[in-house]
Amino acid sequence: MATQVDDSPTEFGPDGAPESGPDEPGGLSRTEVFQLLGNDRRRYTLHHLMRRKSAEIGELAEQIAAWENEVDVAEVDSAQRRCVYVALHQTHLPRLDHAGALNYESTRDEIELTETGEDLRVYMDVVRGNDIPWSEFYLGLSGFAAALVTVAWLDIFPFSIGSDAAYAAFVVVLFAVTSIVHLVRSRRNRLGAGDAPPTAR
């Protein structure tokens, strides 16, 4: 799985730490964004809060346990819930709170998403099984289109039968359809979109 964030060059401060760019969420550096989203439970936490704005830690732990074990919330047992609860309380919620993505105090059960957390609605490029990333797919599609145009231009049979305009139209339609499919899937793969987070579908 790859997470797409801003591709602008990372600036480094005097201490060697990466500085945040003007378009990066909440002043977080690109490295910090990757680190925050590099853990399933932190992504699940943000996804859940993006849909509800706030939640109790017990409710959140139960929902994450359901996603992890691929069961309904009602089927989560106490051991599964406790395992997630402890990890959230001791590690993930303090980490997200320190980054400014949410408001969390260990003395309170309520967790609230912040504006910085809202800005983390990044596109998750989820690659499953034998699938390939979209970047590689477009590269292959471009190679196919270039080969098709070349053989048509050289009048190699049977591609010499069709007109250049027909092949050009075919390539345009091919890329248009692919782009529409990519757009629909990318919107579905954003944190906060849909019932389950992208990597749990």
Q: What does each of the 201 residues of the chain score in pLDDT, given as a tens digit?
A: 444 333 333 343 433 434 444 455 557 787 888 888 889 999 999 999 988 889 999 999 999 999 999 999 999 999 999 999 999 999 999 999 999 999 998 778 899 999 888 888 765 555 555 567 778 889 999 999 999 888 888 888 887 788 888 888 999 999 999 999 888 777 676 776 666 776 655
Question: What's residue 26's pLDDT?
Answer: 57
Closest among 109, 100, 120, 114 to 44, alpha carbons compared: 120
Spatial distance between the Cα atoms of 101 and 115, rounded to a whole number of angstroms: 7
pLDDT of residue 10: 37
Residue 111: the pLDDT is 94
What pLDDT score was predicted for residue 22? 43
Check residue 181 and give its pLDDT.
87
Q: What is the pLDDT at residue 14? A: 39
Cα 166 to chain centroid, rounded: 37
Q: How many CA atoms lie within 13 A of 87 on its CB side?
A: 17
108: left (phi over 0), alpha (psi -120 to 50) or beta: beta
DSSP H or E run through 140: helix 134-153
CB distance 88 to 60 below 8 Å: yes
In this prediction, residue 198 carries a pLDDT of 65
